[in-house]
Chains A and B, each alone.
Chain A
């Protein structure tokens, strides 16, 4: 008997070992990102004084804000449109069940590369080439859209039903016929869903790209922030929040309609077509306001090649400093995720409808979560940099808040989807409420939570690589500086470091996620 219990010991030791390692990593991350109790206390008081300076919001330049809002929407819209046009052929070419060999490898490579590079890096590059304004924003968004959409498209095509394809093959049809009549009808609704998702995503990103000069509200926000016009900043932020919430609502409704296959049925038809045409109309009208200087664009193209050739060879001097910054970046991601986990648990529990039966509390916490998810973290970072100063702490706070938007939602869904049967079984042993939670609810949701946390950790380490763009710590600051002073050889070193970090983190998180569920 004793021997059989003893087999439990190695498992426990192993578990204990991992807990120790994880705790040490987390503690070091807090230390490196300079996050402690005092930074929180002082952060609160600084934030409070910033908020006081922001009131009352100054809407005196309202007309300008509206024009910039339209410009932002149109940057998102045209970036998406161009992205869709490029993604479609690339998506087809990178589908393994349609093409093999060189076309497949090349298109897959392009898509993977575009997805790995943060969108804001493209924006910086195009701002260098074409100057400030919306054009770099549109181009950067097109490229990042291809990275996401190309992958979505090819995954959809690779999972189509084979039977109609074979039926057409047996009629002796050419590949174009097969694609047109057997593949596209199957994937069309999915593609539309992805397109709307990307439109929503891109309008939000368009707000952020302005922070590096790529037009829209972001650019204005950055300028007002740097000239300490906090009352104007708050006016801009209010507009940003309203636009983001609206877009989030619209896209949630549309994607729900598309998933249910009700997009163009009944009264949805009128509403959805109206909404799309509004966004399209804004985007078309804004085109007339966008200063397109073809001279500038043509002269900008050689600058891109100049940049690319200027990258080589990478300048490896000072790499020890960059390595430290990489560690700081990873630490920021870890710290932000850990803080977010602690904030998300209460919010997730409050918004789970099967735990707390209060509609007001449920929907209130849901609204908070949705808002945090919709707001781009670089905008949070920009605000926190003004509040708590330059450095990783601002980045950590921004990442944490945005992450709550994801984790809170995931947690609530995990709690709502638990299997109730074991809960009753534990209740039937005469256990108390807390014991039910501990032995029937937690064992069901903790593996899911771990998986979500790892996924977000992976995502947040990527996100923290660009926090430096607004001065919120990490290696991003060196990246943007090296580009601003035209030291492209250093830029390449930093880009390579970022890409290597992302690949390693991606690999580790993928491995761990497979183990926890």
Chain B
């Protein structure tokens, strides 16, 4: 369970998050939508501590996030997988090596740190990595260098890397913004399948209305750092959905 209480964040003079109050239950699949610059990415980055709010409280699974405590942040991040718009993979390393790097958080001291730094992983971990690659449908490309993979394949590797953490929560920051529509659909389906089968909370920042409408039960719409809609997709009519975007565009035009 993730709870936001009065979360506020400014960049310069602009309020990017303006008093966010929000509850996300364990196991939910939530889509966060909104126009560019509405604070979607900032919102999810406060969950794993890449953005520090100016005021307010974020708590994850009952623990208040302590942004100044490095060790707390590391322990928090171990349980939160993150995937990105530009995949954020090491292009020159193989798919398997990228996936394996997902379990580094578990080796953060003692011999584990030493061995993982040298480059050794246990047999179980290698097998888990292969299994995850098979789960995302890329077992045959495990030893391929990432820069030889297509965009959709790269995102699958990134998802496998996040799953390697054995996370409770999966944050996805515009995961399909750089993919073609057909691949996008498959990636969203994969994310939702992970949410359903592995009971991992999914929080997905999206730009495409169509994808949201068809797949997510709950959506949260942001505009200018404020939540302007939070509820079931089914109870949201199309006009309302369009208004979320149009309003901002009208404002920009003015």
Contact = CB atoms under 8 A, between A and B. Distances in A.
Interface of A: 1-2, 4-5, 7-8, 11, 419, 421-422, 424-432, 434-435, 438-440, 443-444, 447
Interface of B: 48, 50, 73-82, 84, 86-93, 96-97, 101-105, 107-108, 113, 116-117, 119, 123, 126-127, 130-131, 139, 142-143, 158, 161-162, 164-165
A476 to B, nearest CB: 39
Contacts of B73: 430
12 contacts: A7-B143, A421-B86, A422-B89, A424-B50, A428-B77, A429-B77, A430-B74, A431-B105, A432-B74, A438-B117, A439-B97, A443-B97
Given A430-B78, A432-B113, A435-B117, A425 B84 contact: yes
Contact of B104 (A1, A7, A429): A429
Contact of B142 (A4, A431, A432, A439): A4
A198 to B, nearest CB: 35
A364 B100 CA distance: 39
A8 B143 CA distance: 8
Given A4-B142, A429-B103, 16 more contacts: A2-B127, A5-B123, A425-B84, A425-B89, A427-B77, A428-B80, A429-B78, A429-B102, A429-B104, A429-B161, A430-B108, A430-B165, A431-B104, A432-B108, A434-B117, A444-B90
Interface centre among A7, A434, A443 (most CB of B within 10 A): A443
Given A4-B139, A421-B84, A443 B90 contact: yes
Nearest to A432: B108
A430 B116 CA distance: 14
Contacts of B91: 419, 444
A444 B146 CA distance: 12
B125 to A, nearest CB: 11
Given A428-B80, A430-B78, A434-B113, A439 B101 contact: yes
Contacts of B88: 421-422, 424-425
B92 A429 contact: no
Contacts of B105: 429-431
Contacts of A426: 101, 104
Contacts, number: 100
A1 B165 CA distance: 20
Nearest to B171: A428
B116 to A, nearest CB: 7
Given A5-B123, A5-B127, A429-B165, A439 B104 contact: yes
Interface centre among A428, A431, A435 (most CB of B within 10 A): A428
Contacts of A4: 130, 139, 142
Nearest to B89: A422
A261 B81 CA distance: 47
Given A424-B88, A430-B75, A5 B130 contact: yes
A430 B76 contact: yes
Contacts of B104: 426, 429-432, 435, 439
Contact of B161 (A1, A11, A425, A432): A425
Given A422-B88, A430-B78, A11 B143 contact: yes
Nearest to A425: B88
A421 B102 CA distance: 14
B158 to A, nearest CB: 7
Contacts of B113: 432, 434-435
A154 B204 CA distance: 54
A422 B113 CA distance: 19
B89 A443 contact: no
Interface centre among B73, B78, B104, B117 (most CB of A within 10 A): B104
Contacts of B96: 8
B130 A443 contact: no
A431 B88 CA distance: 15
B92 A447 contact: yes
Contacts of A421: 84, 86-88
A419 B89 CA distance: 9
Nearest to B100: A439
A429 B130 contact: no
Nearest to B48: A428
A143 to B, nearest CB: 41
Contacts of B165: 429-430
Contact of B92 (A5, A8, A427, A443): A443
Nearest to B128: A1
B127 A425 contact: no
Contacts of A422: 88-90
Given A425-B161, A428-B48, A430-B76, A444 B139 contact: no
Interface centre among A2, A422, A447 (most CB of B within 10 A): A422
A92 to B, nearest CB: 39
A1 B123 CA distance: 11
Contacts of B116: 435, 438
Contacts of A425: 82, 84, 88-89, 158, 161
A428 B89 CA distance: 12
Contact of A5 (B101, B102, B126): B126
A342 to B, nearest CB: 19
Contacts of A447: 92
A8 B126 CA distance: 10
Contacts of A428: 48, 50, 77, 80-82
B32 to A, nearest CB: 17
A33 to B, nearest CB: 30
B169 to A, nearest CB: 11
A440 B90 contact: yes
